[in-house]
Amino acid sequence: MEGWNINRRISDAQKDLERTFIADTPRVKVYYKKYDKNFNELESYVHRKLNKVRYRPDREFFKITPKEAKKIIIDCARDLKN
């Protein structure tokens, strides 16, 4: 998994969030992790499914609960395996 580092991704996401100039910037938290050997394909698929709930089209922040996000990730992983 060359180039994949979850801690770096979380740190980058937090920096992106802080640049949005929200008065009380929330912290990025990990609620669920899913390893998949095709993680790039899974991530792209999940993002396509989440397009309608993005805060902004150019950001990876979504208007859903962690529980909803987990279900979408699990469903997308299952779809890609079939």
Pair 80, 41: CB distance under 8 Å: yes
Task: Give the side-chain half-sphere CA count within 13 A for 53.
Answer: 12
Helix or strand run (H / E) with residue 21: none
What is the tens place of the pLDDT at every residue in 25-68?
A: 556 677 777 777 888 899 899 999 999 998 778 777 788 888 99
What are the structural domain ranges in the chain? 6-81
User: So what's the pLDDT on residue 79?
Assistant: 95
User: So what's the pLDDT on residue 2?
Assistant: 47
User: So what's the pLDDT on residue 50?
Assistant: 93
Q: Say which residue the tokens 């949005």 belong to.
A: 20
User: So what's the pLDDT on residue 1?
Assistant: 46
